[in-house]
Structure 1
């Protein structure tokens, strides 16, 4: 199965991008800094609250319980309460989920927390890194045993900037017709506009003129003389988008009206709530 695809229990395939090892390492280091700070602060507070009458065995047991509570209890409680998040994961846009894409529960969080003592703390993250580079979806040992993986929640920003009607073509667009514009050509022109700022100026001009020439037969009336090719492309695509949206809204309104008429009871039969 592709690492970016998950099949849930209903047999539906979802696109789920696993977080990279670097992203996970950054989140783990941030979590480690937070936990160490909490441990030091709580340990100092514990020394003031602990009575002097405790013997060495009781003191050792108290220190061990405090250590486990901070480095195992806190991560387990956080991941259980937030369904797979922690301070580091929140900062890096990562969430721990089950292999089927569902949210983790206490069992998965507990297994990850207990195994984390070995692959994160006792080996300073070395075992976790080795496992993540070898295992599918960048899993550490705790993920393999718990049946989980790190999901990248924050998608990259879309390269498409919003389409806007060029002001100088607003009057022309009010009477223009672009209904015959093919979907394939519209998509290719949209992709060109998105990549235009990164193109070489000569290539950008060449492609702009070519797309404008391809759009011209489907636009009526013709754009004013001297219109910049990219402005014509953007105006045509904006006009097409706005009118398709208006038609979709009108269809939904008509369907709602028909549905309301169909669901009404015949005349004379009272409505029962």
Structure 2
């Protein structure tokens, strides 16, 4: 164990110590599934409560399927088949077929098409897998369904006794398996993790002044990730592994940072201060980069007035005024208004329309 802590990838140390010295009460992987690399998978076995809740949801789904078959299949058969064929025996056989489709076909089809999850299991977060963690097969799903219909739910053979026997088997089995799982070689596991990542502890006020002066240029991402894993998952480690890992991580972090911390401070608080200061500087650097990017390449979809529209409106451009010349001499038949000075007067009773001999040239 000491060799594992002292060397190797920093991101693997928390997992290694957790496997060897983790708190058994805090462990959630009780399915007993092991990968090909001989590593126990963090998978929880489904117990009686979650499986009963999934069963209730599936019962509602099966009732809807039965109603749909009764409303569609029965009228279709009555229309297509002649009356002599549709007798009481045929009706009974049709009802038996529909019941088999609902009770047996429903879970088998869903588990095959939805990776081992019926609608009820999908809602609760459960999944049927092989006993070694692989995907469930069609034969296994069919075996589970047949055993369940016969001796569990609805329990066609001795209903009350089979229900009690099935509940007893699930409560006493280490993996929470029912009779159908034991016969088919399957089990039901949770697909959702029971634990979520907690935020890393923040810096305490007495260490804020020291953390601001830290030189963190040599602290790489791998070691920072190992520190974060230790701070967020340290509660799963028991002594002396928790303190041993904290001292080892601080020796590595302290060798890469300066100045030295105040004396007498626990390693976990020092690691939390270093990580919080690193996160603060990273967030500040990201904000500055975004501000520079927004200044150089503004977002064209941003809401606000355009710079071109700010200011007084431009002057209205209209037609250029017509230059007028001096007034035309009296009796000349000319009028003022052309840039050259005069233009022919409009035609009248004493002047022919259009250009002609009676039109004097423009001066």
TM-score, normalized by the shorter chain, greater than 0.5: yes
For the 8 Å contact 1:164–1:238, the answer to whether it is kept is yes
Contact 1:99 1:149 (C-alpha < 8 Å) held by counterparts: yes
Give the CA deviation at 1:76. Answer: 0.6
Q: Paired residue for 1:172, among 194, 201, 212?
A: 212
RMSD: 4.3
Point out the structure with max Rg over C-alpha.
Answer: 2
Q: Say whether residues 1:107 and 2:134 are aligned partners.
A: no
Paired residue for 1:40, among 67, 70, 82?
Answer: 67
How far 1:20 sits from its partner (Å)? 2.0
How far apart are 1:112 and its partner, in Å? Answer: 0.6
Which residue matches 2:258? 220
Match of 1:135 in 2: 173
Deviation at 1:18, TM superposition (A): 0.8
| Structure-2 residue corresponding to 1:208 | none
**TM-score of the two chains, using structure 1 as the length reference:** 0.63
The 1:188/1:84 distance shift into structure 2, 3 A limit, reads closer
Which residue, 97, 108, 123 being the options, matches 1:91?
123
Q: What is the Cα deviation at residue 238 of structure 1?
A: 4.0
2:34 matched to 1:7? Answer: yes
Tell me what 1:121 maps to. 154
* Unpaired runs of at least 5, structure 1: 196-213, 224-229, 244-273
Structure 1: how far apart are the matches of 2:136 and 2:280?
A: 42
SS in 1 for 2:40: strand
**Post-superposition CA distance 1:227-246 (Å, at most 9, x none):** xxx99764412456899xxx
Counterpart contact for 2:148–2:180, Cα < 8 Å: yes
Q: State the secondary structure of the residue aligned to 2:46.
A: coil
Residue 6 of structure 1 deviates from its aligned partner by 2.0
> Contact 2:181 / 2:187 at 8 angstroms: preserved in 1?
yes
CA distance in 2, matches of 1:165, 1:178: 20
Measured against aligned partners, the alpha-carbon deviations of 1:185-232 in whole angstroms (never above 9, x if no partner) come to 95797259989xxxxxxxxxxxxxxxxxx99x9463478xxxxxx997
Q: Taking structure 1 as reference, are residues 128 and 32 closer, same or farther at Cα in structure 2, changes over 3 Å only? A: farther
Q: What's 2:183 paired with?
A: 145
- Structure 2: 5+ residue runs without aligned partners? 1-28, 237-249, 262-267, 282-363
2:336 counterpart residue number: none
Shift of 1:126: 4.3
Kindly indicate whether the alpha-carbon contact (under 8 Å) linking 1:17 and 1:151 is maintained by their aligned counterparts in 2. yes
What is the rounded CA distance, in whole Å, between the counterparts of 1:164 and 1:3 in structure 2?
Answer: 32
Confirm or deny: 8 A CA contact 2:212 2:277 kept in the other structure.
Answer: no
**Contact preservation (8 Å) 1:189, 1:233:** no
Residues 1:101 and 1:64: Cα distance change in structure 2 (over 3 Å): same
- Please tell me whether the aligned partners of residues 31 and 189 of structure 2 are also in contact (alpha carbons under 8 angstroms): no
